[in-house]
A = this chain, B = another copy of it.
Amino acid sequence: MLVDNFATPYYAVIFSSVKTPNIEGYAEMAERMWQLAAEQEGFLGADSASDEKSITVSYWQSLEAIKQWRHNVKHAAAQKLGREQWYAQFRLRIAKVEKNYGMG
């Protein structure tokens, strides 16, 4: 099930990545971060899909909420491990959602 649409405007954090072969500890950390994000003020929802690439898009009420999440101490530690060990490549984009529609 996909997360619903939200009242515009809101913000999307589009995180795309390609992992290294060394993904020890990754799945557990991803699960912990998913739960922690959901507890943050201003978090609206997120969807994720993975094959050779992974794309996670999380939705937030404001840029301030994204900033708080980015600087969350546990999240910052996870980001450091990601850069040093798990990600061969990543891109992070912060975007203001202006329109949304859907079905189902």
Q: Does A5 contact B (CB under 8 A)?
A: yes
B104 near A99 with CB under 8 A, answer no
The bracket for how many chain A residues form the interface is 35 or more
Give the docked Cα–Cα distance between A40 and B21 (Å). 35
Residues from chain B with a CB closer than 8 A to the CB of A104 are: 18, 87-90
Give the docked Cα–Cα distance between A50 and B93 (Å). 19
B5 near A18 with CB under 8 A, answer no
Give the residues from 47 to 77 in chain A that come closer than 8 angstroms, CB to CB, to chain B: 47-55, 57
CB < 8 Å neighbour of A101 from B18, B87, B92, B99: B92
Residues of A within 8 A of B (CB): 1-5, 12, 14, 16-18, 47-55, 57, 83, 87-104
